[in-house]
């Protein structure tokens, strides 16, 4: 697939206007306050035998949106004694937390690692998930991208983003974690969640996002019919006249809006031939990053001109590890 979005020079200066809902900040403050009122983040942390000798793992349950139980894997290098910086990782669209031995990169690099389960997902890729979504009954299609699409209070991503913020609260309460050095990490949907966390958690230490979903949503809907955006387009093709309500809901989860409010140092990655999450969304979030926070955090973006949604793959991970070592230590 050849490059299909803006030319590189235009991407580098791409700073689109974003029409934010008037209640954007109040909406998220109210949502997060309600989640915190449900009680302490961590419900339980039970050690598990993962079969790995060099990694210790716990099966964690924490309180997410509305106090709902959310599952996660928490892992640390075996025999580590000092408090470690922590990486909270968010999985991609349709994935669950899978099995504890699947994602070992950050643990092997010397970090504590929390991998959050995606509520109501996990049935499309990987090895499944363990967190139901008890609030998924609002009007909308079967896919997560369209569940509750007609009202921001009912939308799936209101719940998932709240879970992601509470995952940071949870990892800070777990043993052996340096609560002052917590990073949010993710690709695709996970990148969108990490970016939302950066905009909602003012003392996050770092954020690493690749090909983030939910950035530049309106433009993405015009550029691609591939899922997850294609699921939204398909829903609106049937529910004619629902566009205004849908766009109002999507405005409450727009990644550019979260990026504008971020404070943490940021590391971005993007493939310029990405037809799943068009690169203009990543550049828009990067170019407008932290513009409302009053800070000037360091930020860097690595672009891969001949790659699609996979971006820089292992090459990019190697760059992430080097950058994280500089920002977080290990």
Q: What is the per-residue pLDDT for 302?
A: 98
d(CA 125, CA 95): 5
Q: What is the mean pLDDT of residues 118-129?
A: 89
Q: Which CATH superfamily is domain 8-328 in?
A: Alpha/Beta hydrolase fold, catalytic domain (3.40.50.1820)
Q: What is the mean pLDDT of residues 136-140?
A: 79
Statement: residue 123 has pLDDT above 90: no
Contact 307, 315 (CB under 8 A): no
Q: What is the mean pLDDT of residues 83-88?
A: 98
Read off the pLDDT band of 276 (50, 70, 90).
very high
Q: What is the mean pLDDT of residues 139-144?
A: 81
What are 280's two structure tokens? 């203009």
Mean pLDDT is lowest, of 80-94, 103-117, 129-143, for: 129-143
Q: What is the mean pLDDT of residues 180-197?
A: 98
Q: What is the per-residue pLDDT for 139?
A: 75
What backbone torsions phi and psi does residue 44 show, to the nearest 5 degrees?
Answer: -155, 155
Contact 43, 63 (CB under 8 A): yes
Peptide bond into 228 cis (omega under 30): yes
Q: What is the per-residue pLDDT for 329?
A: 84
Q: Which residues are catalytic?
A: 188, 274, 309
* Predicted confidence (pLDDT) per residue in 55-74, tens digit: 999 999 999 999 999 999 99
Q: What average pLDDT is seen over the chain?
A: 95
d(CA 228, CA 232): 7
Q: What is the per-residue pLDDT for 127?
A: 87
Contact 288, 76 (CB under 8 A): no
């Amino acid at each position: 697939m050849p490059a299909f979005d803006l030319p590189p020079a235009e991407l580098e200066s791409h700073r689109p206007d974003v029409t934010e809902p008037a209640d954007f900040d109040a909406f998220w403050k109210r949502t997060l306050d309600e989640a915190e009122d449900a009680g302490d983040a961590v419900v339980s942390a039970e050690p598990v035998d993962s079969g790995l000798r060099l990694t210790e793992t716990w099966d964690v349950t924490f309180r997410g949106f509305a106090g709902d139980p959310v599952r996660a894997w928490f892992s640390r290098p075996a025999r580590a004694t000092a408090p470690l910086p922590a990486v909270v990782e968010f999985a991609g669209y349709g994935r669950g937390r899978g099995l504890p031995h699947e994602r070992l990169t950050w643990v092997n690099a010397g970090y504590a690692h929390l991998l959050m389960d995606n509520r109501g997902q996990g049935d499309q890729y990987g090895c499944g998930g363990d967190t139901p979504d008890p609030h998924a009954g609002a009007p909308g299609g079967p896919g997560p991208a369209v569940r509750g699409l007609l009202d921001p209070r009912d939308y799936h991503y209101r719940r998932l983003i709240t879970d992601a913020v509470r995952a940071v609260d949870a990892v800070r309460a777990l043993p052996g974690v340096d609560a002052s050095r917590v990073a949010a990490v993710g690709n695709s949907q996970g990148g969108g969640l990490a970016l939302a966390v950066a905009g909602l958690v003012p003392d996050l230490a770092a954020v690493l996002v690749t090909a983030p979903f939910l950035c530049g949503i309106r433009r993405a809907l015009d550029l691609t019919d591939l899922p997850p955006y294609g699921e939204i387009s398909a829903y609106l093709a049937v529910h004619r006249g629902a566009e205004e309500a849908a766009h109002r809901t999507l405005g409450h989860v727009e990644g550019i809006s979260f990026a504008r409010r971020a404070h943490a140092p940021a590391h971005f990655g993007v493939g310029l031939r990405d037809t799943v999450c068009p690169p203009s969304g990543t550049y828009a979030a990067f170019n407008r990053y932290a513009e409302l926070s009053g800070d000037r955090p360091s930020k860097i973006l690595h672009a891969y001109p001949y790659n699609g949604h996979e971006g820089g793959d292992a090459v990019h991970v190697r760059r992430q590890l080097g950058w994280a070592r500089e920002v977080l230590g290990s």
